[in-house]
Amino acid sequence: MLAFTANGDEGWTPLMNPAGVHNLKFTDATVHNGKVVAVAGSGDIYSWDMEGAAAEPTLLPRVPEIHHVSHDLRRGFYLAASSAGQLQVVCMHGHGDVKDSRSRRIVFKDQWSFFARHVSLHELDAATGAWRRVRDLGGDRALFVGGNYPFYATVPPGGSNDLQADCVYIADLLVCDAAVFDLKLGDDYIYEFERRLSYPAMADSLQMPMWFQPTAYPIA
């Protein structure tokens, strides 16, 4: 079950599950244009109007490339919004069926049950209702997703060793705390990640790496 709260609300508002759908598990959710949007483990994407939360959700058009991948691949999804405000979904593909051994983790998720080897980004055209594959981010932006609210960062010309344009940066994956996927490399490129970050108390199962943007507040 999903629920949301907003500024001024006295509590949480539960959202109705789609009728006739059983064993539904959502892998990510966000707010987009006044609607709560969530993606299920199947790749189906639902939206709820925040003003009419008691109504059943709307099933958005399916992303063809997501629903026609090989059945022996595991998948994980994240939602985002483009700089122009279009809904986006990040799809990770990989092999393996690994049980998360960190039994005391705060959040359990499908992204910790397989090795991510491929990533694709798809964007919904609100006018036509059709999805399109995104293969670059304009040459000057990078997308950051994970346990955080998704955001884009501007990349200076040439980038740097730690920040490159046209890439999706994903936090908290199996065998690595953070990974970068270059959208320009195409579907034939297979990623291999074998090293975790090193930081104090990294073995603590209650920690979950995520991205954030520092915010400067004026000092009174």
| DSSP β-ladder status, 130-134 and 115-125 | antiparallel
The reported pLDDT for the residue numbered 189 is 77
Q: Residue 53: pLDDT above 70?
A: no
Q: Report how far apart, in Å, the C-alpha atoms of 141 and of each of 44, 81, 166 are.
A: 27, 13, 6
Any idea of the CA torsion for 139, 151, 30, 199, to the nearest 10 degrees?
A: 120
> What value does the mean pLDDT take over residues 132-148?
92
> What value does the mean pLDDT take over residues 183-209?
65
Return the H-helix or E-strand segment holding 172.
strand 167-173
Q: Assign 102 a pLDDT band (cuts: 50, 70, 90).
A: very low
Q: Assign 67 a pLDDT band (cuts: 50, 70, 90).
A: low
Place of tokens 């809904």: 87
Rounded to two decimals, what is the model's pTM? 0.82
Q: Residue 153: pLDDT above 90?
A: yes
Any idea of the CA torsion for 150, 208, 185, 90, to the nearest 10 degrees?
A: -40
> What value does the mean pLDDT take over residues 202-218?
72
8 A C-beta contact, residue 118 and residue 92: yes
The reported pLDDT for the residue numbered 70 is 60
Nearest-angstrom CA–CA distance, 42 and 59: 12
8 A C-beta contact, residue 12 and residue 5: yes
> What value does the mean pLDDT take over residues 51-58?
79
Taking Cα atoms as reference points, which of 27, 38, 85 lies closest to residue 60? 38
> What value does the mean pLDDT take over residues 7-32?
86
The reported pLDDT for the residue numbered 23 is 75
Q: Assign 81 a pLDDT band (cuts: 50, 70, 90).
A: very high
The reported pLDDT for the residue numbered 175 is 66
8 A C-beta contact, residue 165 and residue 147: no
The reported pLDDT for the residue numbered 72 is 66
Q: Residue 7: pLDDT above 50?
A: yes
Q: Residue 100: pLDDT above 70?
A: no
> pLDDT > 70: what percent of the chain?
76
- For the ranges 58-62, 66-70, 170-174, the lowest mean pLDDT is seen at 66-70
The reported pLDDT for the residue numbered 75 is 80
Residue boundaries of the structural domains of the chain: 1-59, 61-196
